[in-house]
Structures are given as structure tokens and as C-alpha cells.
Amino acid sequence: MPQPISVIGAGSWGTTLAVVLANKGYDTTLWVFESDQLALMESERTNRKYLPGVMFPENLRLSGDLSAATRSADYLVLVVPTHV
């Protein structure tokens, strides 16, 4: 049974990692911070802003709810910007 993984951050790296994990068969959720971006990604099944031309696998779920995205995950992959 694939382990549930949540990727926190839907920029270019987060989206790429989520797609790779989903393609490898992992139960993957990608958390998207911006609600307008989430709606666009859900309708198009791609991240036109950061990873154009790469379609999401059917088993990649998107979520705008951080609590829901992390609640059942065995692993979290944090891919968010840091400002140093």
C-alpha cells in the first residue's frame, strides 16, 4: 500500500516533486496556498504558472486546506520559499 505523502508548496519544485511522487505510485496531495491558483490547477490539471505543459497524474490530489492536506500524511515534503 503506497504511503500517503503531502507536498506543501505548489511552486515549480513542489509541483515537480508531487508529480514525480504520484507517478511513482505514492498517494500524493499537493497543498496550494493561493485559492485562485488552486482553482485554475484543479480545472486544468496542470500548473500553468510554474510547470506548464506537465499534466497531473490522476492520483495527484490538490488541496487548499493545510490541515486536511497534512492530517493523514505519513510524510511531509516542505517546499516553500524562505526569506533570509
- Domain with 50, as residue range(s), is 4-78
62 part of a folded domain: yes
Give the span between the Cα atoms of 33 and 41, in whole angstroms.
12
Q: Give per-residue pLDDT as tens, 22-67.
A: 999 999 999 999 999 999 999 999 999 999 999 999 999 999 999 9
Provide the domain count of the chain: 1
- The verdict on residue 83 lying in a domain is no
Cβ contact 8:77 at 8 Å: yes
pLDDT digits (tens, 9 = 90+) for 55-78: 999 999 999 999 999 999 999 999
Q: What is the CATH number of the domain that holds 26?
A: 3.40.50.720
11 domain residue, yes or no: yes
C-alpha Rg value of the chain to the nearest Å: 12
* C-alpha–C-alpha distance, residues 74 and 51, integer Å: 26
